[in-house]
Amino acid sequence: MVSKGPLLRLLTAINRRRMKLLMGLAFVAYVASVWGNFVNMRSLQENGDQKVESRIEEAVAPLREKIKDLEKSFTQKYPPVKFLSEKDRKRILITGGAGFVGSHLTDKLMMDGHEVTVVDNFFTGRKRNVEHWIGHENFELINHDVVEPLYIEGLAKRVGARLLLASTSEVYGDPEVHPQNEDYWGHVNPIGPRACYDEGKRVAETMCYAYMKQEGVEVRVARIFNTFGPRMHMNDGRVVSNFILQALQGEPLTVYGPGTQTRAFQYVSDLVNGLVALMNSNVSSPVNLGNPEEHTILEFAQLIKKLVGSGSEIQFLSEAQDDPQKRKPDIRKAKLLLGWEPVVPLEEGLNKAIHYFRKELEYQANNQYIPKPKPARMKKGRTRHN
């Protein structure tokens, strides 16, 4: 007969081993279960992430395309610019370079490959005139008012630059010589309503030549006759802008005096070519830049009426004081020394100007502003026949 004590001990040892085995198996099963759940969850998460990423991509794709389109639209496309080597490329400062003539000169010099810095206070000039160059590596725009002087004559002396003065045919006043050549000293009323402008330009020429003699700075002087074209200010009171504006709006074309006063009108691109030719020349004395094709103010009003197709009447008002009776440039000097003369026919230039003014009127009508022609200025500045 076997004793119960050893048997019990044997059974207890076996049970312990079973329990350990069972516990081990249970732990393995638990780990396997957890791992299976983890794998399933990971798979579900990955599938969910893929779905989310797919949906995000579907939503973002059109936005990405729109961003590309915006980037393309904001990428500045500049007019074609000629490449110039360092030795041929000039650095040019243009005061008033955002104005009518200045902006066209800026275009010409930029496209020729030069570096241009424009200084303007935008009183009559506009950023719109030069905005197509903003951001170009050769272009710089400075908002500055010359009430705080720039001393460009001193700058020209320091860097050895050439100074070009944009003078005017107004230095001849109401001329007693016709046509006007550069040797004519003029006939100006020094205390009349036009004196500030006329005498201001005359003294500007005087100071430039005095500085040239004193400091040795190279000076070029262009005496500019009546010029017209796109980018003229709508309300500048000039005869071209007034007549076109009045004709387009169906208002009377206002002629001051009998309309027998004569003027000679040149298109702005002709003037710019003349300015560049003068700037690059060795001609240090004043040079007339204008179109010798002479027209009466009345003829000019009738021509604009015809080109616009306007039914406006012509209204005659009292003549402005000191309004020049005749104005026609003698350009033999420019032809001989610069090889320059105007080439744009009057009607061709007027059609371009009319197109520009028509677009401006449409633009300003959309912005609820309709410009009105200015009356002739009787006490200061230029009359509309200027």
Asked if 224 and 166 count as a contact pair (C-beta separation under 8 A), the reply is yes
Asked if 314 and 252 count as a contact pair (C-beta separation under 8 A), the reply is yes
Assign 263 to helix, strand or coil. Answer: strand
How many angstroms separate the CA atoms of 336 and 328, rounded?
A: 18
Phi-psi region for residue 308, left (φ > 0), alpha (ψ -120 to 50) or beta? alpha
Asked if 328 and 251 count as a contact pair (C-beta separation under 8 A), the reply is no
Look up 78 and say whether it is catalytic.
Answer: no
Asked if 314 and 304 count as a contact pair (C-beta separation under 8 A), the reply is no
Could you write out the DSSP letters of every residue in 128-196? GGTGGGTT-TTEEEEE--TTS---HHHHHHHHT-EEEEEEEGGGGBS-SSSSB-TT---B--TTSTTHH
Query: Among 197, 209, 211, 356, which one carries the catalytic annotation?
Result: 197
How many angstroms separate the CA atoms of 365 and 368, rounded?
A: 5
How many angstroms separate the CA atoms of 232 and 174, rounded?
A: 25
| Residues whose CB is less than 8 angstroms from the CB of residue 304 and which lie 6 or more positions away in sequence, other chains included | 240, 243, 244, 247, 253, 310, 350, 354
| Tokens encoding 278 | 């003068």
Assign 200 to helix, strand or coil. Answer: helix
11 alpha-carbon distance from chain centroid: 105
Q: Which residues are catalytic, by number? A: 197
